[in-house]
Amino acid sequence: MIAVIIAGVVGGVLSLVVTRALITAFRTRGLGQPILGKEDLGPEHHMAKQGTPTMGGLAIVASGFLGWLVAHVRDGLPFSDQAAIVWVAVAVMAFMGLLDDVIKVRKRHNRGIFWKQKNYVTMLMSFAIAWWLASSTGIATTISLTRADYPGWDLPTWLWIIWAGLIIWATTNAVNVTDGLDGLAGGSALMGFAAFTIIGYWAFRNPEVYADVVNPLDLAVVAAGLGGACMGFLWFNAPPARIIMGDVGALGLGSAMALLALTTNTQLLLILICGLNVMEAGSVALQMGVFKASGRRTRLFRMSPIHHHFELLGWPETTVIIRFWLLAAACVAAALGIFIGDFTRIVSDLDALGGGG
């Protein structure tokens, strides 16, 4: 537990310091976020945010990683292959987002050179990461809800790689879609990492139930480091934001949550842990589906993602953010309830078998 606390505290403190430094450095250099205007069918009501320093996700990823590293100074916490792969994957996805952020800033337009190709590139990267996990670690290749054997549908390795790759790609893009209001993506990610911290530590304390999770304590430390980093970043990203996460943060955090779900065998539970992101990405898919099916005449929402729809209904931005945070919290609480409920049932069954012997 001490290692988890160290990672969270170090990640949080460093994120406060680094984010503040980034605000000053980026503002001095004029590295501000461009906003899509009316001509690009963007949220015109957000034009006041034009020029806000961006790429703040650098502080989250770097601080979370350093928090994880510092936690290993204590004896008894070995480095694990799975956690190392998680960090390499997060770095690669974040770098992809950084490239797009830099291009947006230089072009002074909110669509980088990769805005059309980015989905395909991130998908290929997701499959490569999934292959690396399957070929280099002892990860369980089953479809799982709360543990590897529940429901425990075993998949051939090649099919699991496709399954896992799609999870990484979908979660990464869902978090990116959510990152449209001040603090919305960072706040919901903080809750998600808190859930994975609990799940990882719970698995560490109960190896008889979660034997298929490889070094769960190290995974809990990864989640704690990133959760602390999100908390520090939110100090400056809360509305009105003094810095924006950017694609470097959204892609990095999305891939981290997907990989934590895969490595802790809670893939299906991710749907609830990232419930807000699912809702946001789903609103975009529904909007596009209805629009194309109607011959480009009808829209289901006034604007997607759905947080813009509620803004256009007259909700203040802070109201949308807080209510969406509450939705995210309810989804995370439900996910943890399912996880702990399944554990309680398993322990009761084990106790009954032991008493019967």
Above 60 in pLDDT, residue 295?
Answer: yes
The closest of 62, 95, 23, 17 to 244, measured between CA atoms, is 23
Residue (of 189, 213, 193, 183) closest to 307 by Cα position: 183
> What are 179-211's pLDDT values in tens digits?
989 999 999 999 999 999 999 999 999 999 999
Asked if residue 78 lies in contact with residue 4, where contact means CB atoms within 8 angstroms, the answer is no
Per-residue pLDDT, 125: 95
Lowest mean pLDDT among 59-73, 109-123, 140-154, 311-325: 109-123
Give one DSSP letter per residue of 58-76, joined into a string: HHHHHHHHHHHHHHTTSTT
Question: If pLDDT is split at 50, 70 and 90, which confidence band does 275 have?
Answer: very high
Q: Quick check: 30 pLDDT over 80? A: no
Start-end of H helices in the chain:
2-29, 57-71, 81-107, 118-136, 157-178, 184-205, 216-237, 246-263, 270-273, 275-293, 306-312, 317-356
Facing residues of 53 across strands? 32
pLDDT of 356 > 50? The answer is: no
What distance in Å separates the CA atoms of residue 353 and residue 170, rounded to the nearest whole number? 41
Whether the predicted pLDDT of 128 surpasses 60: yes
What per-residue confidence (pLDDT) applies to 355?
57
Query: pTM of the prediction?
Result: 0.92
What residue segments make up the domains of the chain, in order of their start? Answer: 2-271
pLDDT in tens, 88-97: 999 999 999 9
Closest among 229, 223, 277 to 249, alpha carbons compared:
229
